[in-house]
Copies of this chain bind each other. A is one copy, B any other.
């Protein structure tokens, strides 16, 4: 009990602190003192700070991938080999992304973590995520491909990442943006609101006309 408790308390605290201040700016001392756990406990239970970071991600991504695979199974069963519409795919992914954090801390923390995983120097994290969770994403992009047969492969790849950027950037920087929005428009946005606003933009972005592959009037940049 005590053992499990310690591990959980470390993970709970770490995920909040990581999301708040980034990985490098969060010391093991910060975590262990806030979690009221011995300083050596992190190294004892996780081996290193790196492994702790990965464990924090695994606790979100493991249930997510399981759920997402199941949801895609159901979707494929429902459409019996026919093409699954893009909107249904996106909707399904959104639902799964939302379900997991709903059970624990918050979507914001999860997104913040994802944002950090991309933006921060933690090369090991990108590798870890690719290794452990690459297959779901591959399955998903395969289905998206069938749903958007007119989109060239490269175009689809980039657009998916454009949209990923939109979502991660918005939800991970949520607090700062929310502050500005509230200050400027006196309007408090909930995560639900934001997702409602995101949906049509994402869909429109995916369905935007394909640009001509030629001329470009912008100057070059290194």
- Chain A interface residues toward B at CB < 8 A: 20-22, 24-25, 94-95, 98-99, 101-102, 105-108, 115-116, 118-121, 126, 153-155, 157-159, 161-170, 172-173, 176-177, 180-181, 184-185, 187, 189, 191-192, 194-205, 207-211, 213, 216, 218-222
Contacts and interface: CB of A to CB of B under 8 A. Distances in A.
Contacts of A201: 159, 162, 205, 208
10 contacts: A102-B219, A120-B120, A154-B181, A155-B197, A165-B168, A165-B169, A196-B211, A204-B209, A205-B205, A205-B208
Given A24-B22, A25-B24, A157-B181, A118 B197 contact: no
Contacts of A222: 101-102, 105-108, 191
B118 A173 contact: yes
Contacts of A119: 22, 115-116, 119-120, 172-173
A22 B121 contact: yes
B185 A153 contact: yes
Nearest to A214: B196
B205 A209 contact: no
Contacts of A22: 22, 24, 119-121
Given A211-B200, A221-B106, A162 B157 contact: no
Contact of A158 (B107, B116, B194, B208): B194
A157 B184 contact: yes
A165 B164 CA distance: 9
